[in-house]
């Protein structure tokens, strides 16, 4: 089966990732109408904003039926982990509408660290050694920390904890105390179970895979910058910038990623009969030339999507069709060799407390390409009857540029950022510099 030649698409989410998806989907000749739930002040340039919560499945059902939606694309992990795909499949009225994303069971690859580690062990995917601890075997967990691993100690909440559930500690006593605190609910129910991991030292790279559950396409890889401060200092954030391609991800390295990680992962999905028609985001550590998996996510990355999609030249609705109708091996993925750099502008104080509602000036129009850069909106909203765009979150904009090199693309993004202003605006000035 194929999608109709032109389609109505519903995209779920409202961050920079979804603005990038909306921008890319809108370029497709196969698009009839795009809706984004909830979207932001940038996505409205490409699709109609819909006031439906992506977690409210009955409301989504009503919306897709009323608006003749042919395809649903899920941006963030939460609706997937909550079973949006299964909700569609289990309802005779909407089961024919394909969803780009994995089933609830398959989404546990992101939703449960223990599930992901056990999956990797079953399929021989290289990853750090680990041990699972609950309140029942806390003493064994402390013993494992003391005798089986060396500092730094890596503790991970099993469940989703908004990107905050990983602690890396240098001191054994402190690690044991934190283990106890996590089990006692430091990250709510997400840390009722904790995965202790061996520390992997190396440099991280994110690899993105589109799969129909049988075949796959490897999309451009990216490196993101998680710490708030320059030189990778300060608190962890949702991402302060990203670069693609990644110079150390050479052909030889990517071939190892393909044979040692992507192949066994997709084979594992197939052998276990998991319903996976979507994107796999594999967080990797390059350990002296050998890739090791740090984590799976069941969606695209943010802000990595803002550098990955601008490098893809082929039609995205064609790619979605390959994913949902299991014809991915018939599709061709074209990628520009150009370098993309995105720099994230955040609210002052982020990732701690910050104020919202600051007027953003210098955006030539909502949503915008100014010719040199792509200004993807994340936490933005309209104010004053639509006359102004204001900040509405910690991460506000992701400014992407293409260029022949990292310095060229980065310089373009910084120049564009120089024309944008809001009170408390902050960005890292060193995105990509470590790769030169």
If one asks whether residue 278 binds ligand GLY (CB under 6 A), the answer comes out as no
Residues 283-302 that bind ligand AMP (CB under 6 A): 283, 294-295
Q: Where are the alpha helices (DSSP H) in 123-230?
A: 138-147, 172-183
Determine if the peptide bond prior to 165 is cis (ω within 30°): no
Question: Which listed option, ligand AMP, ligand GLY, none, makes contact with residue 220 (CB within 5 to 8 Å by class)?
Answer: none
Separation CA 410–CA 427 (nearest Å)? 12
Q: Give every CB contact of residue 184 below 8 A, 6+ residues apart in sequence.
A: none
| Residue number with CB closer to ligand AMP (60 or 106) | 106
Residue 224 CB, shortest distance to ligand GLY, in Å, is 5
CA torsion through residues 389, 390, 393, 399, sign = positive
Residues 337-396 that bind ligand AMP (CB under 6 A): none
311 burial (CB, 10 Å; 0-12 / 13-18 / 19+) is buried
| Residue number with CB closer to ligand GLY (22 or 378) | 378
Helix or strand holding residue 256 (H, E): helix 251-256
Instruction: State which of residues 199, 362, 364, 415 lies at the interface with ligand AMP (CB under 6 A).
Output: 199
| Residue number with CB closer to ligand GLY (175 or 307) | 307
| Residue number with CB closer to ligand GLY (209 or 317) | 209
Residue 195 CB, shortest distance to ligand AMP, in Å, is 9
Tokens of 274: 């998991």
Contact yes or no for 199/186 (Cβ under 8 A): no
| Residue number with CB closer to ligand AMP (77 or 315) | 77
With b for 16 or more beta-carbon neighbours within 10 A and e for fewer, the 198-222 pattern comes to eebebeebbbbbbbbbebbbbbbbb
Residue 200 CB, shortest distance to ligand AMP, in Å, is 4
Instruction: State which of residues 301, 310, 322, 394 lies at the interface with ligand GLY (CB under 6 A).
Output: 301
If one asks whether residue 297 binds ligand GLY (CB under 6 A), the answer comes out as yes
End-to-end CA distance of the chain: 47
If one asks whether residue 197 binds ligand AMP (CB under 6 A), the answer comes out as yes
Residue 32 CB, shortest distance to ligand AMP, in Å, is 37
Residues 165-224 that bind ligand GLY (CB under 6 A): 224
| Residue number with CB closer to ligand GLY (23 or 279) | 279
Question: Which listed option, ligand AMP, ligand GLY, none, makes contact with residue 224 (CB within 5 to 8 Å by class)?
Answer: ligand GLY
If one asks whether residue 302 binds ligand GLY (CB under 6 A), the answer comes out as yes
Residue 421 is classified by DSSP as B
Give strand pairing partners of 71: 9
| Residue number with CB closer to ligand GLY (54 or 239) | 239
| Residue number with CB closer to ligand GLY (28 or 297) | 297
Token pair 């904890």 is found at 161
Size of the site for ligand GLY (CB under 6 A): 6
Question: In degrees to the nearest 10, what's the CA dihedral of 15, 20, 284, 320?
Answer: 110
Residue 300 is classified by DSSP as -
Report the interface residues with ligand GLY, using CB under 6 A.
224, 239, 297, 301-302, 304
Sites of contact with ligand AMP (CB under 6 A): 128, 154, 156, 166, 197, 199-200, 204, 283, 294-295
């Amino acid at each position: 089966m194929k999608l109709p030649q032109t389609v109505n698409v519903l995209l779920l989410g409202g961050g920079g990732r979804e603005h990038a998806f909306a921008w890319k989907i809108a370029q497709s000749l196969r698009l009839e109408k795009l809706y984004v739930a909830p979207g932001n002040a940038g996505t409205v340039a490409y699709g109609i904003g819909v006031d439906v919560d992506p977690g409210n499945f009955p409301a989504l059902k009503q919306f897709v039926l009323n608006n003749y939606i042919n395809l649903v694309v899920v941006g963030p992990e939460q609706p997937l982990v909550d079973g949006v795909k299964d909700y569609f499949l289990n309802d005779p009225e909407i089961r024919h509408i394909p969803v780009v994303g994995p089933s609830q069971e398959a989404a546990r690859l992101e939703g449960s660290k223990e599930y992901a580690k056990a999956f990797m062990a079953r399929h021989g995917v290289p990853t750090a050694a680990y041990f699972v601890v609950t309140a029942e075997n806390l003493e064994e967990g402390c013993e494992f920390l003391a005798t089986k691993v060396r500092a730094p100690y890596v503790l991970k909440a099993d469940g989703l904890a908004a990107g905050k559930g990983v602690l890396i500690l240098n001191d054994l006593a402190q690690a044991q105390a934190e283990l106890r605190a996590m089990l006692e609910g430091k990250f709510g129910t997400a840390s009722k179970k904790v995965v202790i991991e061996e520390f992997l030292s190396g440099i991280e790279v994110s690899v993105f895979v589109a799969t129909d559950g049988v075949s796959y396409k490897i999309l451009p890889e990216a490196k993101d910058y998680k710490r708030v401060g320059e030189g990778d200092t300060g608190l962890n954030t949702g991402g302060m910038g990203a670069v693609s391609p990644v110079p150390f991800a050479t052909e030889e390295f990517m071939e190892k990623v393909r044979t040692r990680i992507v192949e066994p992962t997709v084979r594992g999905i197939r052998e276990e009969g998991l319903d996976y028609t979507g994107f796999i985001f594999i967080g990797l550590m390059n350990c002296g030339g050998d890739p090791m998996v740090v984590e799976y996510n069941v969606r695209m990355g943010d802000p990595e999507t803002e550098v990955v999609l601008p490098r893809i030249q082929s039609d995205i609705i064609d790619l979605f069709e390959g994913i949902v109708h299991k014809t991915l091996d018939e599709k061709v993925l074209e990628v520009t060799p150009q370098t993309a750099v995105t720099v994230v502008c955040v609210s002052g104080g982020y990732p701690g407390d910050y104020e919202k509602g600051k007027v953003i000036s210098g955006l030539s129009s909502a949503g915008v390409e100014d010719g040199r850069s792509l200004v993807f909106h994340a936490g933005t909203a309209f104010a004053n009857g639509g006359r102004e765009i204001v900040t509405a979150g910690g991460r506000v904009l992701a400014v992407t540029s293409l260029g022949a090199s990292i310095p060229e693309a980065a310089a373009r993004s910084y120049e564009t950022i120089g024309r944008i202003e809001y009170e408390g605006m902050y960005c890292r000035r060193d995105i990509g510099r470590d790769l030169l």
